[in-house]
Amino acid sequence: MSVKHAISRGLELGRSFLQLGLLKSRGRVAAKLLAERFRAGPSVRTVQPQAFLPSRYRYYRTSLKGLAAQLQYAGFRRRLTGGSPRNRALFLAFGLGVGLVEQQLEDDRRSATACQEIQAVFRKKTFQSPLIPFSSGYKLEDYIIGNQIGKGSNAAVYEAAPQFFNSKESNGEHSLEQVREDKEDVQMVRSPTCCSLMNFPLAIKMLWNFGAGSSSEAILKSMSQELVPSGPLAFKPEEEEITLDGYFGVVPKRVSAHPNVIRVHRAFTADVPLLPGAQEEYPDVLPARLNPAGLGNNRTLFVVMKNYPCTLRQYLQVTKPSCRQRSLMVLQLLEGVDHLCQQGVAHRDLKSDNVLLEFDSGGCPRLVITDFGCCLAQSGSSLQLPFSSLCVSRGGNISLMAPEVVTAVPGSGVVIDYSKADAWAVGAISYEILGEQNPFYQAGGLRSTDYQEKQLPLFPSRSPADVQLVIQLLLRRNPERRPSARVAANMLHLSLWGRKVLASQDSAGTKKLVDWLLCQSAVVLLKGCAGPSGNGVEAELQRSFLSNLDLVELRTAMGFLLYGWEQRRGCSLSA
């Protein structure tokens, strides 16, 4: 705010105070009237009175406007009664300054209220999975299982389809054989060796059971982390009542649906079958009845999810997305991580292999975070894990562990804070999204234990500058200097859709920003009513942004962006 603008605002505010002050013989009465006049309504959060004011100023404790009025009145009275110029100037300047502070607080209250109202509107619009629902599916026999489509350190994933589609639930579709006959010409291929997604819309993940026992209760207790993204109908009603402990207290902690987080539609235990490729791919984890040398138990946990065309790593190996698509992909990962953080979940194993990918109607990649086997999901939401000994698991992939996690030394009272660890991993994965090698994967490359920020490799010149800024901030070693996933996501939202309004104001002004937010809300609501365009990736991201509006986090994002712009402007001028 310029000095000229500040003086004009202060004088305008002071004029009203002085006019009322002239009508009353005592400043206390004037201050009290002004406090009543500007008092916020019950729905607006008001500033609490400050304790440093003595009790004799009881009329001015309720409002900074009242204090400003008294100070300005005192300065005006000293002018009439012959007070020294120094005292008159002091009282008037202080009064005008306090008035400006109160005006800024009033603007903040209005802006915060507008953000809360927008947030309330969009939080009512919950995300619904596009997968066709089905009423059965709580047994392995309910599915036709196809080829293996993935294998990790603790599970194998197979493509699958329900044995029969219910006509009421699938709008007239019938058996899988009919779907095959009708859709033979449609081949949405995952890879040259995979079957059509049309034929196999689901994926079944079979967990490997080494020491969890063979009872359903023991298996669910041991593998309950996999149940974090479960939907409301994932279990049979009777299994919902099973008491689960471990990390989750009395029931498995679950996160609500989000377009960038996988959804588990069914979860059940069953005997381990001999699936295609089992003897060749994972013979050691099979039970003895299938492989005499196998070490696995007879029963294990199966989870059913939507089938996706490929992983993020596979996609980036064969495709070069546009600059805008790259920005949207980084933003989706941040939105997914923020959704998990808000609900007290840290993934702790983020990597491009654990991110699935599909496409919206416009061909834009939609990213989905999957594989929650290493997640931290405590009953609270602090995301802090006591680290008393090396027996406590820090998470999955050590190459992409945040510095504060990988360098933690166990001991009494030591706690690892995971609130920004997944955001750091997004910063590392973003190098891959921008078309570069992940610097923490390369042989002889950087290690999160001891790297310095100046050692981070340069970005491709074609990469969006704001995305580069976000990645640099996310990869800061000190988590206190690192933005949260929410702030980083807000930076990209403002860069993609609010750049003009952000460039037209300073970091303190919010009126134009709030006006823009209201316009964006109207546009997004209209798009949602317009059919398929409301289900695209960009529309989903905008809804996520508006449903998480917070004035403080928004201003923090604005500050980071404006600082980055100033730095780039300074560099260009010096060059």
The catalytic residues are 349
Q: State residue 267 phi and psi, 5-degree precision.
A: -145, 130
60 close to 70: Cβ distance less than 8 angstroms: yes
Cα–Cα distance measured from residue 517 to residue 539, given in angstroms and rounded to the nearest whole number: 14
CA–CA distances in Å: residue 331 to residues 115, 116, 353, 507, 537: 21, 22, 18, 22, 10
What is the helix (H) or strand (E) element at residue 149, kind and residue range? strand 143-151
Q: State residue 352 phi and psi, 5-degree precision.
A: -65, -20
* Residues in Cβ contact with 518 at an 8 Å cutoff, skipping those fewer than 6 apart: 114, 118
Q: State residue 386 phi and psi, 5-degree precision.
A: -60, 130
268 close to 279: Cβ distance less than 8 angstroms: no
DSSP assignment of 42-79? TTSPPPPPPTTS-GGGTTTTT-HHHHHHHHHHHHHHHH
Q: What is the CA radius of gyration of the chain?
A: 29
| Pick from 375, 152, 175: nearest CA to 262 | 375
3-state secondary structure 443-501: CCCCCCCCCCHHHCCCCCCCCCHHHHHHHHHHCCCCCCCCCCHHHHHHHHHHHHHCHHH
202 close to 162: Cβ distance less than 8 angstroms: yes
Query: Which 3 state secondary structure label does DSSP give 59?
Result: coil
* Residues in Cβ contact with 421 at an 8 Å cutoff, skipping those fewer than 6 apart: 346, 348, 395, 401, 402, 404, 405, 479
Q: State residue 144 phi and psi, 5-degree precision.
A: -95, 125
- Burial group, residue 454, by CB count within 10 angstroms (0-12, 13-18, 19+): exposed
Cα–Cα distance measured from residue 282 to residue 278, given in angstroms and rounded to the nearest whole number: 5
Q: Where are the alpha helices (DSSP H) in 251-355?
A: 278-281, 312-318, 323-342
Q: Where are the alpha helices (DSSP H) in 401-447?
A: 403-406, 421-433
**Amino acid identity for residue 21 in this structure:** G
* Residues in Cβ contact with 81 at an 8 Å cutoff, skipping those fewer than 6 apart: none
Q: How far apart are the first and last CA of the chain?
A: 29
Cα–Cα distance measured from residue 530 to residue 25, given in angstroms and rounded to the nearest whole number: 62
- Burial group, residue 505, by CB count within 10 angstroms (0-12, 13-18, 19+): middle
